[in-house]
Amino acid sequence: MTDDVLIRTEGAAGFLSLNRPKAIHALTLPMVHAMTAALLAWRDDPAVQVVILDHAVAPDGDPKLSRGFCAGGDIAFLRNSALNDGGASGRQFFFDEYRLNHLIFTYPKPVVTFMDGITMGGGVGLAGPSQYRVATEATRLAMPETGIGLFPDVGGGWYLSRLHGRLGQYLALTGARLDGAECLWADLATHYLPSAATAAAKARIAADPSAVAATLHALAAVPPEPKIAAVAETIARTFASDRYEDILAALAAEDGDWARATLETLGHKSPQTCKVALRQLHDSLSLTDFADNMAMEYRVASRVLVRPDFAEGVRAVIVDKDHTPRWNPATPEGVTDDLIEAIFAPLPADEEWTPLP
């Protein structure tokens, strides 16, 4: 077990509180294993009727150490794996993390995730499959993987492809951040509460787990107008194609500051990742089982982990922090259909992802 996840029961609730504040609670493999073990133990425990997933708050209340729910996965660890062990330990991380995502998705008891703060990458992977997803004024949700040469995994293909108006394709390619009001508008959150009301919500849920929805409704606040709604029609039009070059052309032909800024943003993203994400969302939408989505994403993860863009993207953002990644291939045109096919191809039967037995 690990101190990076605080595991406890209170009333009829099991609590999983992420506790790596200096890393904004980014997930490590021991954290994944600890949460999985707790969920399996509680699954058939009649004393635990609901699971609450949140982040621990710094004892001294330091806001810098209480900034988020979960900033993602341990990408420094994954880069080290790509460079030093051929991706073996990184593939193990993805395999087990995806099993946790699937366990939450199929869990027989309600899971309530409080996205009170930064919720990115692996944090979306924990919140997305939860039955109740609570946003606050502090929520900042994003799938920023195109900026590090990975791809929007942990179930991102499933959630993003099913958003309205091509919003998922926009989020997957640009890594745009949504605030809590925008998450509620987009259906990425089920409820919007003030941060100040989250402690009371958790206490009430633990005391009466049969009334989760009523409790969240009673404590909910009216969110501000979602800013992204103003450009929703433009997003739907410019991101309509599953071909990346068509999206770039549509943005270039669009008048206005938003389109210019979006095109500028995409100019810094990994062309490989953008094409992978579009294929991922296209394929996921045709799937009817979340496990099939995770098997598809594991195939992709096992390959992009050891391709040049991931190590280079993490170098540029995390290691050297020069924010000037040298992508390979460097252009959308250089990312061939054959390359994408190879990334999505089935793995050998004994290497394919499977849910927990």
Q: Which residues are catalytic?
A: 73, 122, 145, 153
Cα dihedral sign, 111-142-321-77? positive
One-letter amino acid of 274: C
Asked if residue 191 lies in contact with residue 135, where contact means CB atoms within 8 angstroms, the answer is yes
Overall residue count recorded for the chain in this entry: 357
Q: What are phi and psi of 69, to 5 degrees?
A: -75, -60
> CA-to-CA distance for 297 and 33, rounded, in angstroms?
20
Residue 267 has which token pair? 């100019």
Q: Strand locations in 87-233, DSSP E?
A: 111-115, 118-120, 132-135, 140-142, 178-179, 191-192
Comparing CA positions, the residue from 231, 221, 210 lying closest to residue 184 is 221
For tokens 């395999």, name the residue: 95
Asked if residue 155 lies in contact with residue 133, where contact means CB atoms within 8 angstroms, the answer is no
Conformation bin of residue 125: beta by default, left when phi > 0, alpha when psi is -120 to 50? alpha
CB atoms within 10 A of CB 255: 7
3-state secondary structure of 223: coil
> CA-to-CA distance for 15 and 52, rounded, in angstroms?
5
Asked if residue 142 lies in contact with residue 184, where contact means CB atoms within 8 angstroms, the answer is no
